[in-house]
Structure 1
């Protein structure tokens, strides 16, 4: 972790890793938490494997949907780690994403109360990191992580 280039977030989710993983890998679950409410998410593509795509759309009214993210998964270690970037789109073409290019690493590990959920979002330069922070990284990613936790914690355990 480089504090000049990276932003981080950590939360204990009171659910097993399998529930958190499912919320990340099932499109119908993913769209319930990926975008801060009250906005609505539509998943166009969620192919959680190395080289797979992540394409979502955003709507403020539930009717008109606009592009949100077009990214590629780089690393997927089942139940442990997901790494994706918006610097390469879902067709594996170089991208110039707005508002900032980033690579996000999500790690899941066991915790006595459920799952230790950690996010590191890496940026190419301090200006991109600062821009992402100014745009509300902690509020936005914090809110969707809370939404993820609510969803995962509401699932019955086996």
Structure 2
């Protein structure tokens, strides 16, 4: 099986520098990143190749999920690449709490391109070292991932509009 990938693109009516800052400044990132109706907290943020980002998302039902990203590339203001996955509260890699067949790690690539009137973001997720069963599960999650990232991008849009 060819390794599947998930890609989503969105144009934001803000300069590339403002959109980059919303993705790379911990305070700004916490204001919008994550599923709708969750509250995000940045626990660790070391924006450099080899650096770690850890976050916590608190859901309205009181549950919490933790994530950990390890940066591979940081090319301001055009590209971020990191290894993406869920974690426990101490930062140890764990399976996705909502789906044990979701790949343990994904390579995330986010590009920031200037376009007329704003910035186009393209985000790609590619499973790493995933079994054929995990890859099939990932393929089956495309609609859900589109919905999740669309919600996050809606929040980013609102954040950029209010912080202009």
Native 8 Å contact 2:58 2:65 kept in 1: no
Residue matched to 2:14? 15
Greater relative contact order, per chain length (Cα 8 Å cut-off, separation 6+): 1
Structure 2 gap segments, 5+ residues each = 97-101
Structure 1's 66 and 94: CA in aligned 2 closer, same or farther, altered over 3 A? closer
> In structure 2, do the counterparts of structure 1 residues 65 and 57 end up closer, same or farther at CA, with 3 Å as the change threshold?
farther
* C-alpha RMSD over aligned residues: 2.5
Judging by fraction of residues, say which structure has more strand.
2
Q: Which residue of 2 aligns with 1:68?
A: 66
**Structure 1 residues 78, 88: CA separation in 2 closer, same or farther (over 3 Å shift)?**
farther
Look up the SS of the partner of 1:142 in the other structure: helix
Distance in structure 1 (CA, Å) of the matches to 2:137 and 2:50 = 24
Q: Which residue of 2 aligns with 1:104?
A: 108
**1:86 shift after superposition:** 2.6
- Is the contact made by 2:66 and 2:86 (CA closer than 8 Å) also made in structure 1? no
Aligned residue number for residue 146 of structure 2: 138
Q: 5+ residue gaps in structure 1?
A: none
Cross-structure match for 2:124: 120
CA contact (8 A) 1:19 1:155 kept: no
Q: Would the aligned equivalents of 1:83 and 1:106 in 2 still touch at CA under 8 Å?
A: yes
- How far apart, in 2, do the equivalents of 1:117 and 1:9 lie? 8
Q: CA deviation at 1:35?
A: 1.1
Give the aligned partner of residue 99 of structure 2: none
Residue 57 and residue 133 in structure 1: after superposition, are their counterparts in 2 closer, same or farther (change >3 A)?
A: same
Tell me the TM-score normalised to structure 1 length.
0.81
